[in-house]
Structure 1
Amino acid sequence: MTVVDAPAIALSAPVNLRDLGGIPVAGGAVREGFAIRADDLSIVTEEDAARLVAAGLRAVVDLRSSDEVALTGRGPFGALADVTYHHVPFLASIGDGIDDIELDQSSFAGMYVRMFEGAAAQIVTALAIIAYTPGTVAFHCAAGQDRTGVLAAAILLTLGAEPDDIVADYARTGENAAAIMRRIAPIMQPLMARYGLDLDDAARAAARAEFSPAPMRGLLGALTTRHGDPLAPLRAAGLTDALIGRLRERALAA
């Protein structure tokens, strides 16, 4: 099923899409067109999809759970032969861990740590796709904040970015928080309601507080404290020096 077959779902431009290009890493800075992070790409307009492909997009890594994908399918990208689609869910179900999630975004560090460690094999899979795709790779979840933020952190850690630069990239999502909530609410509200979470409550909580960089700082600090090398969980799940080298080569190549 694709989103085109579901007229109740309105297509719209992404509101939390950005290129990782320009972020300082070991040996230089990430080049433009290496990887882009985004909110839900399954509900983009056909025009937006075509623009991304024209700019060099060749693969989409969908980090959403199977229950989310069942609602929208792949969207317009599913019909484009030039783009490969990879479903690499960081959660088996959107309901996983919901009982542990408070509505305060500043409290999400523990969730990020559990995700980084628990989905380490999926993170390595996503890194391999990014490393070997001959073109731009876009990765996304629903909001482009949590699962997408964890993968962005993994990419940047692998490339040798400093913690402050990883946190700064994460914090940019705060500029888009209200627009993200408006865009994803029609899809996520009924889905979250299945698990007893009211997205309206989450939106009101987000509106009352500034977006906090604390969860990403907490993730990076916890990885160092628990493992010494923050990449240790990924190395245990199959991240090799060869893959790291390939990622760095692709990220820094002119």
Structure 2
Amino acid sequence: MRNLNWNGYFNARDLGGLPTPLSTTGSTVFKRVARGPRREMLTDSGWAEARQWGLSTVVDLRCMHEVGGREGDPVIDNFTHSSLVIVSAPTEDQDNPAFREVCFPILDSPEYWRHNWRILPNLVRETMQAIANAETGVLIHCSAGRDRTGMISALLLGNAGVSPDDVAGDYAESVRAMAGAKTHAPTHDRQASWSVTEADQWIAETASIVREAAANTDAVFDTIGLSQDERSRLRELLTEA
């Protein structure tokens, strides 16, 4: 039930259905937040399926130079998503010298997450605020739907009381989904040529980083300056039926 088979789209999942003691239903609530790759991959029928799911707001984590159609993207009707709210909320400033030096070599790894919120806390905070302020039915996406989206999803799920192991499992699904897939990422993506075996080895090597992020969301939110009210709203988004 978590996988979203919107036409033209892959590596897309609902963040609902994961066990948490903080939820009134025992698990995160479906049809509140979804994660995925670049939205330009969706066909007209894919957008229709997303609307049927309940999509109202798209929170785009990419930098502005990454946004827009690319060769091979489907041609869609101009009115297909005209009534949706699309929020630009980049987690990265790729012109920032410190970010470039520290993070560019590891942008396809959760290793860079802690540097992202340390170097650019205001951008990560503004992303979380955009989600907290959005109407229910939010799609969060970046390019591959794996690393930036993985970082924000890990924080959302950890804040909602989902176990670090389950959060790491969610990240692993995206690694497997994107292994060997072209993503139009702004930097070299070594995973674009990986086999399933290489992806599984990577998951084993990096799972502890994802678990640590999920287990320490309050410390991360302290670092970025997210208010207690905003933390509560994000938690309720995924736990209040």
After TM superposition, the score normalised by the length of structure 1 is: 0.74
String of CA shifts for 1:64-106, please: whole Å, max 9, x gaps. Answer: 122211565xx9698434311111112223993565238xx6x
- With over 3 angstroms needed to count, the CA separation of the structure-2 counterparts of 1:43 and 1:148, relative to structure 1, is same
Contact 1:131 1:247 in 2 (8 A): yes
Q: Are 1:38 and 2:29 matched, yes or no?
A: no
Residues paired across the two proteins, number: 222
Contact 2:60 2:141 in 1 (8 A): yes
Q: Tell me the SS of whatever aligns to 2:155.
A: helix
Partner in structure 2 of residue 18 of structure 1: 13
Q: Tell me the SS of whatever aligns to 1:57.
A: coil
Partner in structure 2 of residue 3 of structure 1: none
Query: What 5-or-longer segments of structure 1 have no aligned partner?
Result: 1-11
Alpha-carbon distance between aligned partners in 2 of 1:99 and 1:252, rounded to the nearest angstrom: 35
Q: State the Cα distance separating 1:135 from its structure 2 match.
A: 2.1
Alpha-carbon distance between aligned partners in 2 of 1:242 and 1:233, rounded to the nearest angstrom: 15
Q: Are 1:218 and 2:193 matched, yes or no?
A: no
After TM superposition, the score normalised by the length of structure 2 is: 0.77
Query: What 5-or-longer segments of structure 2 have no aligned partner?
Result: 1-6
- With over 3 angstroms needed to count, the CA separation of the structure-2 counterparts of 1:156 and 1:222, relative to structure 1, is closer
- With over 3 angstroms needed to count, the CA separation of the structure-2 counterparts of 1:160 and 1:67, relative to structure 1, is same
Alpha-carbon distance between aligned partners in 2 of 1:54 and 1:223, rounded to the nearest angstrom: 30
String of CA shifts for 1:136-180, please: whole Å, max 9, x gaps. Answer: 10001111110000000111122122211110111111331246x
Contact 2:160 2:235 in 1 (8 A): yes
Q: Which amino acid aligns with 1:20?
A: L
Partner in structure 2 of residue 96 of structure 1: 100
Q: Which amino acid aligns with 1:58?
A: S
Q: Which amino acid aligns with 1:39?
A: P
Q: State the Cα distance separating 1:128 from its structure 2 match.
A: 2.5
Correspondent of 1:231 among 205, 215, 218: 218
Q: Tell me the SS of whatever aligns to 1:232.
A: helix
- With over 3 angstroms needed to count, the CA separation of the structure-2 counterparts of 1:241 and 1:16, relative to structure 1, is same
Alpha-carbon distance between aligned partners in 2 of 1:236 and 1:204, rounded to the nearest angstrom: 35
Q: Which structure is higher in helix share?
A: 1
- With over 3 angstroms needed to count, the CA separation of the structure-2 counterparts of 1:245 and 1:140, relative to structure 1, is same
- Indicate the percent of aligned positions where both proteins have the same amino acid: 24
Q: Are 1:209 and 2:198 matched, yes or no?
A: yes
Q: State the Cα distance separating 1:129 from its structure 2 match.
A: 2.6
Q: Tell me the SS of whatever aligns to 1:130.
A: helix
Alpha-carbon distance between aligned partners in 2 of 1:202 and 1:120, rounded to the nearest angstrom: 27
Alpha-carbon distance between aligned partners in 2 of 1:133 and 1:99, rounded to the nearest angstrom: 30
Q: State the Cα distance separating 1:54 from its structure 2 match.
A: 2.4
Partner in structure 1 of residue 3 of structure 2: none
Alpha-carbon distance between aligned partners in 2 of 1:234 and 1:78, rounded to the nearest angstrom: 38
CA-based RMSD = 3.1
Q: State the Cα distance separating 1:216 from its structure 2 match.
A: 4.4
Q: State the Cα distance separating 1:126 from its structure 2 match.
A: 2.6
Q: Which amino acid aligns with 1:203?
A: A
Matches within 5 A, 1:28-177: 28=23, 29-69=27-67, 79=79, 80-93=81-94, 96-97=100-101, 100-101=105-106, 108-177=109-178
